[in-house]
C-alpha cells in the first residue's frame, strides 16, 4: 500500500526532523517543506523535500495537491524567547502572520488534520505549577504571544470549518537527540541551556552564563520541565492518530511534570561529560519565566502518551553524543 503523505513544515529543523523520522517509521511519507532559514538540508533523512516558505500559498497548495495531503504538522517558526523581545516584528510575522497564511491555504485545500507546535510560553508566569491546559494564556514575551495568536486562529477556524480539526501541543523544554546521534540540534547560533552547557564542556565557549540566581525557586535558578525529543516526537504521532480517529480539536501540554533548575542541569551536564566547566551567575534574561512545569495528565489519559525517557542524565547523554559527533564533523570539514 502506498504511504500516506504528511506535510511537515519546518521538517529540516530540530523537532521536525525527529518527527519526520518517526512518521516514516510508522508507515507515513513525510513531505518536508522548509525554507532552510534555520533548518538544515542534512536533517531531511526521510521522505520528500520541498524548498519554500509556508506563506507561499501557490507552492503550499501545489504541494498539497501533488502529494494528496490531508494531514499537516506545522513546526516552521521562530523559537528564541530572548530574540523575540528585541525582534517582535519578525516573531509576529513568522509565527502568526505566516501561520495564518498556511492555515488559510490548508482550509482552501481541504486539509483535515493539523498538528500545531505551540509552547509553554503561552502561559507566561503561571499562578499554579504544574500548569494545566486550562490555565489562562498570559504570555510575557512576543514569542509566547505570537503562538497564542495562532492557537486562537486555529480554535476559531475549527469552529467555522467542521471538517478541519487541530491539536495544539504546548511544548515545554525540548532537549536531547536521536539515540543513535543521526539527528539533533544544530542551530547556527544556539541559545538553549543544554546545548550551551555541552558546548562549553567541549571548549567551544569559555564559560556558561547562568541567567538569574534570585528566582523564587529552591536554589534561586529558573526551573523548567525538560522533555526528551523522542518522547515529544511520539506525542505528534499520537496526536495525528487521534485527529484521524476522533475528529476532535484539542490542546495538550507536552512535558513530564518534573521541574529541574538551571543549577541541576549544569551539575548533571558536568557529571555526564566529566568536564568541570565554568558556569558564572549573571542577571536574569529578558522574557524568562521563573518556573515552567507541565501538568501532563491530559495527554497521558487522552492520547495514551507514555514517556520513555524521563531521565535528565539520559537526555544529556544523547545530546552529548550528538554534540561530539557534530564537533568531529566540523573538524573534518575545515
Residue with CB nearest ligand UFG?
222
Distance CA 245, CA 29 (A): 19
Cis bond upstream, residue 242 (ω within 30)? no
Task: Give the nearer residue to ligand UFG in terms of CB position, either 99 or 208.
Answer: 208
Task: Give the nearer residue to ligand UFG in terms of CB position, either 169 or 234.
Answer: 169
Spatial contact of 275 and 201, defined as CB atoms under 8 Å apart: yes
DSSP 3-state of 28 = strand
Least spacing, CB of residue 196 vs ligand UFG, in Å: 4
**Any catalytic annotation for residue 161?**
no
Task: Give the residues lining the site for ligand UFG (CB under 6 A).
Answer: 79, 81, 119-121, 172-173, 191-193, 196, 208-211, 222, 224, 262, 285, 288, 292
Task: Give the nearer residue to ligand UFG in terms of CB position, either 69 or 193.
Answer: 193
Distance CA 100, CA 28 (A): 26
Least spacing, CB of residue 205 vs ligand UFG, in Å: 9
- Spatial CA neighbour of 72 closest among 40, 102, 34, 42: 102
Spatial contact of 33 and 58, defined as CB atoms under 8 Å apart: no
Distance CA 61, CA 304 (A): 33
Least spacing, CB of residue 209 vs ligand UFG, in Å: 5
DSSP 263-332: HHHHHHHHHHH-----EEEEPPPTT--SEE-B--HHHHHHH----S---HHHHHHHHHHHHHHHHHHHHH
Query: Which of 46, 143, 215, 226 is flagged as catalytic?
Result: 143
- Spatial CA neighbour of 130 closest among 80, 172, 99: 172
Task: Give the nearer residue to ligand UFG in terms of CB position, either 50 or 148.
Answer: 148
- Spatial CA neighbour of 271 closest among 218, 311, 237: 311
Least spacing, CB of residue 184 vs ligand UFG, in Å: 15
Task: Give the nearer residue to ligand UFG in terms of CB position, either 49 or 211.
Answer: 211
DSSP secondary structure letter of residue 42: G
Least spacing, CB of residue 57 vs ligand UFG, in Å: 27
Catalytic residues: 143
Amino acid at each position: 500500500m502506498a504511504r500516506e503523505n504528511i506535510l511537515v513544515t519546518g521538517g529540516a529543523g530540530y523537532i521536525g526532523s525527529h518527527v519526520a523520522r518517526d512518521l516514516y517509521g510508522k508507515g507515513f511519507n513525510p513531505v518536508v517543506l522548509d525554507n532552510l532559514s534555520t533548518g538544515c538540508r542534512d536533517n531531511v533523512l526521510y521522505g520528500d523535500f520541498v524548498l519554500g516558505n509556508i506563506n507561499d500559498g501557490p507552492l503550499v497548495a501545489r504541494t498539497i495537491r501533488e502529494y494528496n495531503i490531508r494531514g499537516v504538522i506545522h513546526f516552521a517558526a521562530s523559537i528564541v524567547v530572548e530574540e523575540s523581545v528585541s525582534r517582535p516584528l519578525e516573531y509576529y510575522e513568522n509565527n502568526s502572520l505566516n501561520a495564518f497564511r498556511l492555515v488559510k491555504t490548508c482550509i482552501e485545500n481541504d486539509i483535515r488534520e493539523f498538528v500545531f507546535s505551540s509552547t509553554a510560553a503561552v502561559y507566561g508566569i503561571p499562578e499554579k505549577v504544574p500548569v494545566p491546559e486550562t490555565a489562562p494564556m498570559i504570555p510575557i514575551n512576543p514569542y509566547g504571544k505570537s503562538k497564542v495568536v495562532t492557537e486562537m486562529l486555529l480554535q476559531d477556524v475549527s469552529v467555522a470549518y467542521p471538517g478541519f480539526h487541530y491539536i495544539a501541543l504546548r511544548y515545554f523544554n525540548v532537549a536531547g537527540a536521536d539515540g543513535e546521534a543521526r539527528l539533533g540540534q544544530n542551530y547556527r547560533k544556539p541559545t538553549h541551556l543544554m546545548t550551551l552547557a555541552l558546548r562549553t564542556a567541549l571548549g567551544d565557549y569559555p564559560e556558561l552564563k547562568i541567567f538569574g540566581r534570585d528566582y523564587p525557586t529552591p536554589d534561586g535558578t529558573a526551573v523548567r520541565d525538560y522533555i526528551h525529543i523522542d518522547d515529544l516526537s511520539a506525542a505528534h504521532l499520537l496526536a495525528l492518530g487521534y485527529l484521524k480517529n476522533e475528529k476532535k480539536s484539542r490542546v495538550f501540554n507536552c512535558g513530564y511534570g518534573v521541574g529541574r533548575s538551571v543549577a541541576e542541569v549544569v551539575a548533571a551536564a558536568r557529571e555526564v561529560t566529566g568536564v568541570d566547566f565554568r558556569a558564572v551567575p549573571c542577571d536574569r534574561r529578558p522574557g524568562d519565566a521563573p518556573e515552567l512545569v507541565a501538568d501532563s495528565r491530559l495527554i497521558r489519559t487522552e492520547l495514551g502518551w507514555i514517556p520513555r525517557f524521563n531521565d535528565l542524565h539520559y537526555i544529556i547523554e544523547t545530546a552529548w553524543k550528538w554534540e561530539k559527533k557534530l564537533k568531529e564533523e566540523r573538524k573534518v570539514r575545515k
